[in-house]
Amino acid sequence: MTLADGGAPWGLSGPAFLLLYSLAVLAGLAVAWWARSWSARTRPATEPSAVDFAEAALVAGGTDRLVDTVAARLVHSGHFRLSGKGVLSAPGGEPEHPVDADVWRALGSRSLKLYMLRKRVRAMPEVRALADRLAAARTGRSPRARALAKYGSMALQALVVVVGVVRVADGVAHGRPVAYLIILLMVSLAVIAAFYLAVWPLPSRPWRRDPVLVLARRTLTGPDRVAAEGLDAYPDERLRAVLVASGTAPAKKIRPVEPHRDYGPPPSSADGRGAGCGGGLP
């Protein structure tokens, strides 16, 4: 059916094109999300034959996961005491494992919840040095491969946007309604820009099939399983719930700002001093 016969432009009605365009944008974002994950993947330089809980924790979730794992280990061994409200204290002696000892010293004589202990450990030079050594022992995508993944996915998104722009121009030239398409085009541009500016730079989730994590899930037992699977893997169900709650920072409360009120000058006594100011500064 031709346009002269009243057919739809490009063989697609307006609603059908809007649907297909929306699906194309979503497909492009899915490809971009995969490209971001792919470009951020790292792996050990050599295939591991054994894995330490500290290495697995740093690969799975960085220093926060490392603190969670050590806290779980120390609660399990009795070096940390966990109250019913999720407060950690260290009544026992210093543990033998060097990473456990670093986190144990970070708590010291304090009583802190797990989310607060994470903040203290992040700043410890020993933990940063351990993370740097691990990163140096792993290989990642080359800068060229990362750039190809990013800009290749951007080119795909740009192609979808160009198709939308051409459709808008064609509609305007032939006097067809294009308001909904213009709105959809603007929304898609905003979403795409937000993805590449705000989401792409964020740390990517670890590759689930990373050799270190695969081996850790197969070999680590007891509280060490927290390294690969998080606090939900802690073996004691009752303590698990308390640990998870202890690691959750409370939501910040926004205090309402009271309006400024002018109460005027304080009442004065006969000698010119403010009432009730005896003994204060002149």
Mean pLDDT by 10 residues, the chain (282 residues): 56 90 96 93 85 93 94 95 94 90 92 94 87 85 92 95 93 90 94 94 83 93 94 93 92 57 46 40 33
99 and 224 part of one domain: yes
- Give the model's pLDDT for residue 151: 96
HSE value, Cβ hemisphere, 13 Å, CA-based, for 210: 27
235 and 172 part of one domain: no
Q: In what order do the strands lie in the sheet with 112-113?
A: 81-82, 87-89, 112-113
116 and 220 part of one domain: yes
- Give the model's pLDDT for residue 263: 41
| H helix runs in the chain, sequence order | 14-40, 53-77, 98-107, 114-122, 125-136, 143-173, 179-194, 211-219, 226-229, 237-246
- In angstroms, the CA 40 to CA 33 distance is 11
Residue with tokens 């073996």: 235
Backbone angles phi, psi at 44, to 5 degrees: -65, 150
- Expressed as residue numbers, the domain containing 168 is 9-42+142-199
Dihedral (Cα; 48, 49, 52, 57), 10-degree rounding? 40
- Give the model's pLDDT for residue 256: 54
- Give the model's pLDDT for residue 123: 83
- Give the model's pLDDT for residue 148: 95
- Give the model's pLDDT for residue 124: 87
27 and 149 part of one domain: yes
Q: Is residue 192 part of a domain?
A: yes
Q: Is residue 257 part of a domain?
A: no
Query: pTM higher than 0.85, yes or no?
Result: no
